[in-house]
Chains A and B, each alone.
Chain A
Amino acid sequence: MIVGEQKPLEEIWEMIKGHKKVLVFGCNTCVAVCQQGGNKEAEILASMLRMKATQEGADIEITNSGIERQCEHEFFEKSEDEVQGAEAVLSTACGIGVQFMAEKYAKPIYPGLNTTFLGAVEKFGLYTERCQACGQCILGQTAGICPIARCAKRVLNGPCGGSTKGKCEISKDVDCAWQLIVDRLNLLGRMDDYEKLTPIKDWSTDRAGGPRKLVREDLLDE
């Protein structure tokens, strides 16, 4: 899922303070799981902004609402009137939702979150990065552990010389991805795979190739 982190209130306030009617709009899927941008968090943020507006003596009407996903057209139908009625929207979706709304509506759409990474819920309250959407998955060769997302250097034939006692040189709290890979290859009885050199990666499938697109011709409307 996409993980985000709410922006500092002051930064949000600077974006919206010039408007008269602002809708704080939640996205109740990925960013709700990490408790940052769901409809409940949008409600809390709206409440805080109303308190801020009162103290600043600013005459802003701040309401809140939300939908299940801000990255698909059909989910917007039920909230169309609320969005149309607002002068500006503070979206608590990820960067995808904010941009999708900006394309749909001719009004300011502001980001309430910093979109941080694609991650997993290790446990309630702990979200960790697992994927960088590089466009060419090599998890089959690396025993299900991604050196692109989890190695600071994105080394494809590791570990590097900065690996000590299973930890990365950037922090003693960060596991060395290649140590994890070796341990798991060992566990799976696949240490022979460790001897195979991974060739230079084709980064054109990553962001280096520009914005990416997936087309399923069979699903597209004519």
Chain B
Amino acid sequence: MNAKKRVGHLKTLLPQVGIAPERIEMFNLSAAMGPRWAEICMEFTEKIRQIGPSPIWFALQARKE
């Protein structure tokens, strides 16, 4: 599965620019798995909320100030 490999590669690139690799994940679902999709979205949103804003967000905020 090419997408899975690419996401794996991206997980090696992101730390080079200070971004946690956990900020991207791959989930393989069929179109009929709507409820599971919603569940994953909820879980992932919560996970990102816990990790907090990215270093880029902080850098952009600092630039605005």
Residues in chain A within 8 A of chain B (CB atoms): 8-9, 44, 48, 51-52, 54-55, 57
Contact = CB atoms under 8 A, between A and B. Distances in A.
A43 to B, nearest CB: 12
Interface stretch (B21-29, B35-43, B45-53, B55-63): B55-63
Interface residues of B, number: 11
B35 to A, nearest CB: 34
Contacts of B56: 51, 54-55
Contacts of B16: 8-9, 48
Q: Determine the main DSSP class of A at the interface with B.
A: helix
Contacts of B19: 51
B62 A48 contact: no
Contacts, number: 24
Most B CB within 10 A of own CB, among A8, A9, A48, A54: A54
Contacts of A55: 17-18, 55-56, 59
A54 B13 contact: no
A9 B59 CA distance: 19
Contacts of A8: 16
Contacts of B13: 44, 48
18 contacts: A8-B16, A9-B16, A9-B17, A44-B13, A48-B13, A48-B16, A48-B17, A51-B18, A51-B19, A51-B56, A52-B17, A54-B56, A54-B63, A55-B17, A55-B18, A55-B55, A55-B56, A57-B63
